[in-house]
Amino acid sequence: MVQSSEIVPPKRTKEEMEEEGDEMSLMKKLGLYGGEVRLVDEGEDSAAEEMMLLWGLQQPALSKPNAFVSQSSLHLSLDACGHSLSILQSPSSLVAFFISSLNCLSPPPPPTVSLTFLLLLFFFLSLSLSIILVLQSTPGVTGSVMWDSGVVLAKFLEHAVDSGLLLLQGKKVVELGSGCGLVGCVATLLGAKVFLTDLPDRLRLLKKNIEANLRHVDLRGSALAKELTWGDVPDPELVQPLPHYVLGSDVIYSEGAVVELLETLQQLSGSETTIFLAGELRNDSVLEYFLEAAMKDFVVGRVGQKQWHPDYCSRRVVMYVMVRK
Ligand SMILES: C[S@@+](CC[C@H](N)C(=O)[O-])C[C@H]1O[C@@H](n2cnc3c(N)ncnc32)[C@H](O)[C@@H]1O
């Protein structure tokens, strides 16, 4: 007989129990990461389903983009691994590109509001919008300022190491599209031997940040900036031996670069390599395209936000772990 003070759990239907069981069976550990991640199920529509689930769960449009960074500031200050990091940004690359694009095209203002003026206004508003869209997909420009997903990944690494779910001490790490270099610097502070890579014209700022943030620190790991253009043959130092970890934040943002990015991920990964990619939820079609292609060669799992650093979670960011099939 049930006492009135006892809490009786509501009876679950067979369907609910099956659903829960299915969900549990999707939780797995992948590679060198000790936390359980939700597998992106393999199947014809799995990438599209993942997008629906993700957008439904996180509703990225409802929260502020770039909550942890200010892209108009010259520095991003962040405490990590017992150090105060100051990551130099180059917002002028964004502004200069924008202003020069407008300057060379703007006509003198018309004296009165006429149809021509309205047409010109419409033309310039459309032009500004196009420039902003180009800026968002121009790799050389975007690597000069930080994005939230970089902060989230850097703090996740620190948290996962502190929680005993990840070991970076003495491990070889290659970071792709390092940009300003925060993630690679944090991995170095966590004891890894890190190669921070990017396009050739991004390396100056990257080297400055490595120098400024790691020069005076008694390092357990090491950091070296290297050129790596996705799809190109990597420097032998990057692949011999293959890294334990490959890291990337906000590197999935252009459909045109997905094939080359995956080619590089394949070149850099072996059976012992674990890949962590954090991305911004701004374009579902690019992410879906990436996942669809990635699942041919990699097992992909999503790291739930409960495993991220509690102070650095964002509805606009997603994180995946990948290992070779
Ligand atoms: C949006 S930024 C992200 C930078 C940094 N990871 C962060 O989170 O702040 C994308 C980075 O990928 C790099 N990138 C884009 N296309 C690339 C390519 N084809 N080869 C190598 N790096 C590329 C850019 O130079 C840039 O640094």
Q: Report which ligand 1 atom has the smallest distance to the Cα of 144.
A: 27
Please tell me the distance from the alpha carbon of residue 71 to that of residue 97, in angstroms, as a whole number: 14
CA of 249 to the centre of ligand 1 (A): 8
Burial class (CB in 10 A: 0-12, 13-18, 19+), 83: middle
Structure tokens at 246: 């490959």
The Å distance, Cα 115 to ligand 1 centre, comes to: 43
Q: What is the pLDDT of residues 114-151, one digit of tens each?
A: 666 666 766 666 555 454 444 444 444 578 899 899 99
pLDDT at 104 over 80: no
The response to whether residue 252 sits with its C-beta less than 6 Å from ligand 1 reads no
Burial of 3 (0-12, 13-18, 19+ CB in 10 A): exposed
pLDDT, tens digit (0-9, with 9 covering 90-100), for 205-233: 999 999 999 998 888 899 999 999 999 99
Q: How far is the CA of 135 from the centre of ligand 1 (A)?
A: 13
Beta bridge partners of 277: 248, 320
Q: Write out the two tokens for 184.
A: 């690679």
At 70 the pLDDT is 87
Asked if 295 and 261 touch (Cβ cutoff 8 Å), the reply is: no
**Cβ(146)–Cβ(76) under 8 Å?**
yes
Contact (CB, 8 A) for 153 and 278: yes
Ligand 1 pocket member 149 (CB < 6 A)? yes
125 CB-contact burial (10 Å; exposed 0-12 / middle 13-18 / buried 19+): exposed
Q: Which domains does the chain have, with CATH numbers?
A: 45-90+143-324 (3.40.50.150), 93-105+114-137 (no CATH)
- Ligand 1 atom, smallest distance to 149 CA: 8
What tokens were used for 142?
């975007």
- Flag the least confident range among 5-9, 88-92, 200-204, 265-269: 5-9
β-pairing, 75-80 with 83-88? antiparallel
Give one DSSP letter per residue of 222-241, joined into a string.
EEEEEE--TTSPPPHHHHSS
Ligand 1 in reach of 258 Cβ (< 6 A): no
Q: Please list, in sequence order, all residues whose beta carbon lies within 8 angstroms of the beta carbon of residue 308, skipping any fewer than 6 positions away.
A: 152, 155, 156, 159, 319
Identify the weakest region by mean pLDDT among 80-89, 96-105, 205-214.
96-105
Q: What is the pLDDT of residues 161-200, one digit of tens each?
A: 999 999 999 999 999 999 999 999 999 999 999 999 999 9
**CA-based diameter of the chain, in Å?**
88
**Helical H segments across the chain, by residue range:** 14-25, 46-58, 91-103, 115-137, 139-142, 148-162, 182-189, 203-214, 236-239, 258-268, 284-294
Q: What is the mean pLDDT of residues 49-61?
A: 93
DSSP of 263-280: HHHHHH--TT-EEEEEEE
146 lines ligand 1 (CB under 6 A): yes
**Predicted local confidence at residue 268, as pLDDT:** 98
CA of 153 to the centre of ligand 1 (A): 15
Site to probe by mutation for ligand 1, drawn from 176, 198, 267 as the one with most ligand atoms within 8 Å of Cβ, is 198
Q: What integer best gives the mean pLDDT of the chain?
A: 86
Q: Residue 243, by phi and psi: left (phi above 0), alpha (psi -120 to 50) or beta?
A: beta
Residue whose CA lies nearest to ligand 1 atom number 23: 177
82: left (phi over 0), alpha (psi -120 to 50) or beta: left
d(CA 160, CA 157): 5
Helix (H, G, I), strand (E, B) or coil at 289: helix
Taking residues 265-285, report their average pLDDT: 96
